[in-house]
A and B are shown apart, each in its own frame.
Chain A
Amino acid sequence: MSVDWTDVYRDTYPDLVRFLHRKVWDVERAQDLAQEAFVRALRHEPNKPRAWLFQVAANLARDEARTVIRRKRHLTLLKSETEDLQASAPDLNDQLSERERMVRVKAALEGLSDRDRDVLLLWDAGQSYTEIARQAGLAVGAIGTTLARARRRLADAYHETEKVDVAR
């Protein structure tokens, strides 16, 4: 079966970047990894490119996370982001607000178990229950339950971050 890579690229790349961004929390890195996943897909030409791309992207994000932990790069990352904010004063409020929101969403997502988070992010990136089940190693019938729990916990954790902000 021949794959129309133009269609796959147009339909999947945005979802892949969205998925990866919530994994690595760096827009440029997310785009780099999405492109890397596509480069590999173009080399391997898998029969089910979308599922394949998400699987590779998840692996790349996990490797990335381990590398970050190993090298303690997050310290540098936060520093450079702060510098970026200071460098563009006119957009400061918008950026602070966006950054604040990102930090809160990140904190809320990190409060979930790995499995709940993976399933939620795959669903958020537009994967079907069947595709999510295949990638997460769960039965299709367990996806709804997992998503219900993940959504509830995400909302609760997000509200908790609001309380922390108010307390400050």
Chain B
Amino acid sequence: MSHVSEGILHAYLDGALDELPGGEADSVRDHLARCTQCSIQLGEAGAVRDEAIAILGGILPPLDMPPLEDLRSRAAAVRVEPTGTSGRLYRMGWAASVVLAVGAGWMLRGGEVIPLGMMDPIEVPSARRALLQSLTEELAGLEATADDEDLVAAAISATTSSDVVAQAPLDRVREDVERAASPVQETMTDATPRTGLREMTAETPAVFRQFVDSAESGVDQAGLPAAEVLPEPLGVSGSQLVAIAPAAERDAAASVLRAEGRRPDVVTSARKATADLSLVPSNHSDEEDPDRHVGDAPPFVISGLELIDMSWISEGVTAGGVRVLQELEDGEILELLHLPEGVDPDDLDPFPEDGRAGVITPRDGGWLIMRANRTVEELQALLERLDGAA
């Protein structure tokens, strides 16, 4: 085998070789036993590792462990009750997600103005209706200041009239309510990368426009920096929409494709997908970048899964990347984002805490980010499926 990489050397030193995929642990051990060059590098890696241990070990905090029973008593007594400004912000964040989801749903339907009440009306079960009612009361109970009254009123209005919310599974809605009420959860500050979808027209709903305007002006409705309450509007709205109503996003994305004369298709190969969907942006010419043309198949579309959408990212730190949405066998959405070479994933905002797991892995000189409502292990299995196809 070839020489052992620095990462594998550290895994060897950490006793983690057997955790690595690929089953190469034994061959790595054999190689290290025979290769002088790798042995030297192993020694150097060991010195770096020891130094890091010494640095971090030099500041051990004193330990004071209260009896476990004390914590049990607290657990039994404590009721989750957000208080003060932070609690309000979390709930405001939830309210923002509802409005943004509605707004994004509107946009994904191709800009067509569809009254909320006409969006796939369904019978709302009484239990869900009760939950929505309690949610409405929760929102109404916010300590609205003069500055955020409009925001709360808009959120209440959106909540009570939105079939997007009504279509979500009852458990999912309940999770959203609990998330809004739990101090451990984030506000809407963790935005997914911008996708270049951020466009508004004169017909954009006023409520959605209000959020976008306030976020862009840097000051939110409550007078706090927008970054503390409001997300990047479309980045988060996309993920929140998936969290609240995956079917709505899928249908909306499909309608956009149909409106453009394309149709959602089952992908039989990445090359076919690329050719079918004309990935090249309209302002692109092969002369400018001969490496990117229609014939180049992106190696990150999973064969056999329905392709919902594929788009170039034209702005933001991920510009030049590609975003792919595919439908998993059970209808959940799989989001694949390929960042081109030169983009540092550390420049991205953290994953939003929307219940979806994500994995990042080096791919083709750049990075591949994969996210879905799956466990990390299941995502890794999907990654292997991708690798198998390649």
Judge whether B146 is part of the interface by a CB distance below 8 angstroms: no
Q: How far is the CA of A30 from the CA of B49 in the complex (A)?
A: 25
Q: How far apart are A57's CB and chain B's nearest CB, in angstroms?
A: 10
Judge whether B127 is part of the interface by a CB distance below 8 angstroms: no
B72 and chain A: residue at smallest CB distance: A42
Q: Which residues of B contact A120 (CB under 8 A)?
A: 52, 56
Asked whether, in the complex, the Cβ of B59 is within 8 Å of the Cβ of A139, the reply is no
Q: How far is the CA of A155 from the CA of B22 in the complex (A)?
A: 31
Q: How far is the CA of A124 from the CA of B58 in the complex (A)?
A: 12
Q: How far is the CA of A137 from the CA of B354 in the complex (A)?
A: 14
Judge whether B10 is part of the interface by a CB distance below 8 angstroms: yes
Asked whether, in the complex, the Cβ of A145 is within 8 Å of the Cβ of B48, the reply is no
Q: Which residues of A contact B49 (CB under 8 A)?
A: 151
A9 and chain B: residue at smallest CB distance: B68
Asked whether, in the complex, the Cβ of B74 is within 8 Å of the Cβ of A39, the reply is yes
Q: Which residues of B contact A63 (CB under 8 A)?
A: 86, 183-184, 186
Q: Which of A17, A60, A144 contacts B20 (CB 8 A)?
A: A144
Q: How far is the CA of A63 from the CA of B186 in the complex (A)?
A: 7
Q: How many residues of B contact A (CB 8 A)?
A: 58
Mark each residue of chain B from 1 to 36: 1 if its CB lies under 8 Å from any CB of chain A, else 0: 000011111110010100111100000000000000
Asked whether, in the complex, the Cβ of A144 is within 8 Å of the Cβ of B346, the reply is no
Mark each residue of chain B from 350 to 361: 1 if its CB lies under 8 Å from any CB of chain A, else 0: 110100011111
Q: Which residues of B contact A62 (CB under 8 A)?
A: 186
Judge whether B204 is part of the interface by a CB distance below 8 angstroms: no
Asked whether, in the complex, the Cβ of A108 is within 8 Å of the Cβ of B55, the reply is yes
Q: Which residues of B contact A147 (CB under 8 A)?
A: 7, 10-11, 14
Q: Which residues of B in the span 286-345 have a Cβ within 8 Å of any Cβ on A?
A: 344-345
Q: How far apart are B13's CB and chain A's nearest CB, in angstroms?
A: 9
Asked whether, in the complex, the Cβ of B55 is within 8 Å of the Cβ of A141, the reply is no
Judge whether B153 is part of the interface by a CB distance below 8 angstroms: no
Asked whether, in the complex, the Cβ of B55 is within 8 Å of the Cβ of A17, the reply is no
Q: Which residues of A contact B9 (CB under 8 A)?
A: 144, 148
Among A77-85, A86-94, A97-105, which stretch is in contact with chain B? A97-105
- Known A35-B71, A59-B353, A113-B346: A144·B358 in contact at CB below 8 Å: no
Judge whether B175 is part of the interface by a CB distance below 8 angstroms: no
Give me 14 A-to-B residue pairs in the complex whose CB atoms sit less than 8 angstroms apart, sorted by A's number.
Answer: A40-B184, A59-B185, A128-B16, A129-B14, A137-B351, A141-B21, A142-B361, A144-B6, A144-B7, A144-B9, A144-B10, A148-B10, A151-B10, A154-B52
Known pairs A42-B72, A141-B20 / 19 extra A-B pairs, C-beta < 8 Å: A6-B68, A18-B61, A21-B61, A27-B62, A39-B75, A42-B75, A116-B346, A128-B19, A129-B19, A129-B20, A134-B376, A134-B377, A139-B21, A141-B21, A142-B361, A144-B16, A145-B6, A151-B10, A152-B48
- List 9 A-B pairs, minimum CB-CB distance, nearest first: A145-B7, A144-B7, A144-B11, A42-B75, A151-B52, A113-B346, A21-B61, A129-B16, A139-B361
